[in-house]
Amino acid sequence: MSDEMIRMTATEAVACLQSREISPLDLIDAAERRIATVEPAVNALPTLCFDRAREHARRLMAGGRRDAETEPGWLGGLPVSIKDLMDVAGVRTTYGSPIHKDHVPTASHPLVERIERKGGIVVAKSNTPEFGAGGSTFNEVFGKTRNPWNTALTCGGSTGGGAVSVATGEVWLAHGSDHAGSLRRPATYCSVVGLRPSPGRVSRGTPNNLFSPLSVEGPMARNVADIALFLDTLAGLCPHDPLTFEAPAVSFVEALQRPTAPKRVAFTADYGGKITVERETREICAAAARRFEALGAVVEEASPDLAELERAFMILRGQHFVVAHGERLKTHRDLIKPDIIWNTEAGLKQKPEDLAWAERERAAFFRRMATFFQTYDLLVTPGAATPAFDVDLRHPATIDGEPLTNYMGASMVNAAITLSSQPAIAVPCGFDRFGRPVGLQLVGRPRGEAALLQVAWLFEQATRIDKQLPIDPRPGAVPPS
């Protein structure tokens, strides 16, 4: 029965909870057994909190903490993982940093409070790079997280532990965050689904960058229906976040019941040569994008003009890092990894004129995207510039033979969409010749999550790659460059 439960989708498990075929305690037991089985191979959930989880479950089963039971996104006692960048009351929360290796918060983040109010039960914290900075999940506190499809490879970052936790069946849903692809890239590497919502769709709660749209919180799951369910859990106005707005009148789960196919789809493998993407990835993604033709869509090769967007992104990211880490560099420089120091110091060296130029460039790109989406209903790109790489590397050494000069060099296929503030979802689309997962990034209109989820669901029905999950971790070797 335990094996049957971990193979249920989140949607199926919640239905069984509501019908009382199973209890929250049953699912917690199943999750605990599964975690004990797979964790030695992947290191996705380094901090566990089963006593706290069972206490929450017993309160739910006794009729307490059920005031949100009739609201969209009710989880009914479903175990979830929370990225180790977000506080959970009474649970060790390190932010992946040795500075905070012994930190145990007394209060939960507002989004964790929302998840628990909606019947989610936190059973673990998922591993992340230090302060969420990096495209490979490792840190000095807990070490590296491995890809379950090939444990010699990275799971990506920064929501790497979350991606692995749902791919292997340790939990049914995972919370994550995304700045330059931190939900989309791990989802691609682990053959799961990760959604970067529009800024303001989900509360960020407590960061000092409250008025910046670069970083967002979002859901990760094994399939699109489960993403819709978890987005209903997460979405809505939050008094702690000035960018948030009300959840939609029609829930995302309900919207998924009436999917509408796109009429016109734009596919680009590399934005007209502006972004380097590995050749086999380009070919797999181009073939996968043609699946929308079977849904009645016209698929064309087209892309918005990026102009100098990469430079603009790095300037804005540098400023973001100054706000987040500038003071920390003064007090704990010796405990911070070089990538964060480099990114923060780059921001400190910038002039006001640089920031002004980057803001103008971002605004111009948004206007170009708005014009682009007057012609197209959907933009499709690769979910990542490369497949998963060596778990011992901070970033891939090269992309299609071109060396990378910094740890952000493989991120622009995702970061470009970050600057447009449009929702984007990563969905599995196949495997390369070495068996590494490849995914698509589907981009919708601003605040157009409902339509985007419908399109992603239709694509998922055509591929059914989600049926391969959860998987047992597989040992392997690093493919040749």
Q: Which of the residues are catalytic?
A: 83, 158, 182
Q: End-to-end CA distance of the chain, in Å?
A: 43
Angle between helices 309-332 and 352-375 (to 10 degrees): 140
Q: Cβ distance 313 to 419 under 8 Å?
A: yes
Question: Which residues are 178's β-sheet partners?
Answer: 216
CA neighbor of 366 nearest in space, from 417, 440, 296, 439: 417
Q: Cβ distance 78 to 5 under 8 Å?
A: no
The half-sphere exposure of 422 on its side-chain side, counting CA atoms within 13 A, is: 28
Cα 14 to Cα 20: distance, rounded to the nearest angstrom: 10
Cα 171 to Cα 14: distance, rounded to the nearest angstrom: 13
Q: Cβ distance 240 to 205 under 8 Å?
A: yes
How many angstroms separate the Cα of 349 from the Cα of each of 65, 318, 319, 326, 331? 50, 9, 10, 12, 19
Cis omega (within 30 of 0) on the bond before 105? no
- Tokens 């191979």 belong to residue: 41
Task: Transcribe 355-404 into DSSP letters.
Answer: HHHHHHHHHHHHHHHHHHHHH-SEEEEESSSS---BTT-SS-SEETTEEP
Cα 351 to Cα 402: distance, rounded to the nearest angstrom: 30
Question: Which residues are 366's β-sheet partners?
Answer: none
Radius of gyration for the alpha carbons in the chain, expressed in angstroms and rounded = 21
Cα 27 to Cα 5: distance, rounded to the nearest angstrom: 7
Both tokens of 382, joined, read 């690769």
Sign, CA dihedral 406-410-413-415, equals negative
